[in-house]
Amino acid sequence: MSKIKLALIPVALTCLGLLSLYSIEPPLDSAGQDMFESMFFRQLLFLCIAVLIMIVVSNIHYRRFWSTSHVWYGLSIVMLIAVLLFAKNVRGARSWFKIGIFSFQPSELVRIFLVIVVAKYMSTREKLVGRDLLIIFAMVLIPILLITAQPDMGMALITLVSVVIMVYASGITFRQSIPVLIILLAACPLIYKFGLRDYQKERINAAFKMTSLDSRYQVDQSIKAIVSGGISGKGIGQASLTMPFYVPDRHNDFIYSHICEELGIAGSLGLVFLFGVFFLSSLRLAFWTRDLFARYVVVGLTLGLFVQFSVNIAMTIGIFPVTGLNLPFVSYGGSSLFASYVAAGVILSVNRFWRPEFSEKRLPESAFTITPTKS
């Protein structure tokens, strides 16, 4: 049951996104054009590929990731360096490879690999101590710095945050985490001063209404769109393509406001509900499994998606700075979609392959308190 939910919800979410894309850019209007010029058909194609990827990944035993984690870590570093060296500069950032009609953003995959690497490290420790935290922190810091260098602060931030919550969830005590917290806190002003570009600072200021109207423009438009949709929404295909409700990037980062504008409460609550069910089922899976590695991986991936989800929506409804993060499963874009489905695939793999008899170790006391359940 849980498995079907975990597999179907991402597809349902993508279909919701497709519905939006259909109304943003009706694909059948542009007669004579290549079908795959339109966002709708491209996303449909991406969905098919993504579902295939999910099925393939979910059929790989998750322990394979355990045994090959060093490969993934290495691959992450190589990809991130390569993207810095070879990628074209798009809108001031080098984060994309272009392969044929596909664009590929390595940092999306790196997030997943990092979760696996950290999960493996944590699962090999008897008991996590302060030193372990520093090691994990150091491991994570290298790829995160590389992502920051692209620069893609949003991605770097949520990668860091999801790892931090994942480590916290493993049961670390406050005292153990003091050195890491000190380093992180010390880094914050430094990052603001040196790490952020002007436009990023402006966005942070904008979210807290500290600057002029212009820098809040995107968020203002997004809020206007949501308000104009009201309770019932304007109906599919009825969202305005013109000023003043035009929301920039609404096929992508701001797709949530478009869904709200067209579908009203049904769209917004439906979407949040689907995500909620997905997160909680996946969390339940994590606590059901006795394999520490599997547990850490599922918690890490779920939290990664959750942080991305909440940051994205918080930004469209104007309670968080504009970070350039899109909505997992829903937003337009191949590489983000593939990465999300890979994560879903890994979670499904745990669901499929974990059996109590495969549990190789007893769980340490310090980890989650478990009440054994029967599968």
Number of residues that bind other proteins (CB under 8 A): 45
Residue closer to other proteins (CB basis): 34 or 214: 214
Q: Please choose, out of 58-66, 164-172, 195-203, 342-350, the segment that lies near other proteins by the rule CB under 8 A.
A: 164-172
Residue 115 touching other proteins (CB under 8 A): no
Residue 369 touches other proteins, criterion: CB under 8 A? yes
10, 27, 229, 345: which one binds other proteins (CB under 8 A): 229
List 52, 129, 186, 272, residue binding other proteins (CB under 8 A): 272
Q: Which is nearer to other proteins, 94 or 224 (CB)?
A: 224
2 contacts other proteins (rule: CB under 8 A): no
User: Is 278 within 8 Å of 5 (Cβ atoms)?
Assistant: yes
Residues 345 and 3: beta-carbon distance below 8 Å? no
Collapsing DSSP to helix, strand or coil, 52 comes out as: helix
Q: Quick check: 324 binds other proteins (CB under 8 A)?
A: no
Q: How far is the CB of 319 from other proteins (least distance, A)?
A: 6
For residue 173, the minimal CB distance to other proteins (Å) is 8
As given in the structure block, the two tokens for residue 108 are 């999306």
At closest approach, how far in Å is the CB of 239 from other proteins? 8
Q: Is 211 in the site for other proteins (CB under 8 A)?
A: no
When the beta carbons of 264 and 334 are compared against other proteins, the nearer one is 264
Closest CA to 46 of 324, 332, 309, 327: 332
Which of 107, 177, 268, 331 is the binder for other proteins (CB under 8 A)?
268
Among residues 5, 201, 224, 352, which is the contact residue for other proteins, using CB under 8 A? 224
Distance CA 134, CA 183 (A): 10
Bridge-partner residues for 104, per DSSP?
Answer: 97
Q: Which of 94, 121, 287, 363 binds other proteins (CB under 8 A)?
A: 287
Complex with other proteins: residue 109 or 313, whichever CB lies closer: 313
Position 329 contacts other proteins (CB under 8 A): no
Q: Interior CA angle at 83 toward 78 and 323, to 5°? A: 115
**Cα–Cα distance for residue pair 249/188, rounded to 1 Å:** 29
By CB under 8 A, is residue 299 in contact with other proteins? yes
With contacts defined by CB under 8 A, name the span among 57-65, 103-111, 195-203, 304-312 that binds other proteins: 304-312
Question: Minimum distance from CB of 161 to other proteins (Å)?
Answer: 11
- DSSP, residue by residue, 291-340: -HHHHHHHHHHHHHHHHHHHHHHHHHTTSS-------TTTSS-HHHHHHH
Greatest alpha-carbon span in the chain: 65
| 373 near other proteins, judged by CB under 8 A | no
Cα(162)–Cα(279) distance, rounded to whole angstroms?
Answer: 14
Q: Which candidate, 307, 305, 285, 306, places its Cα nearest to that of 296?
A: 285
| Nearest distance in Å: CB 235, other proteins | 9
Nearest in space to 87 (alpha carbons), one of 149, 25, 173, 7? 149
DSSP for 183-244?
HHHHHHHHIIIIIS-HHHHHHHHHHTT-S-TGGGHHHHHHHHHHHHHTTT---TT-S-SSTT
In this complex, which beta carbon is closest to other proteins, that of residue 74 or of residue 230? 230
Residues in contact with other proteins by CB under 8 A are 165, 168-171, 173, 213, 223-224, 226-231, 234, 238, 240, 242-245, 260, 264-265, 268-269, 272, 275-276, 279-280, 283, 287, 299, 303, 306, 309-310, 313-314, 317, 319, 368-369
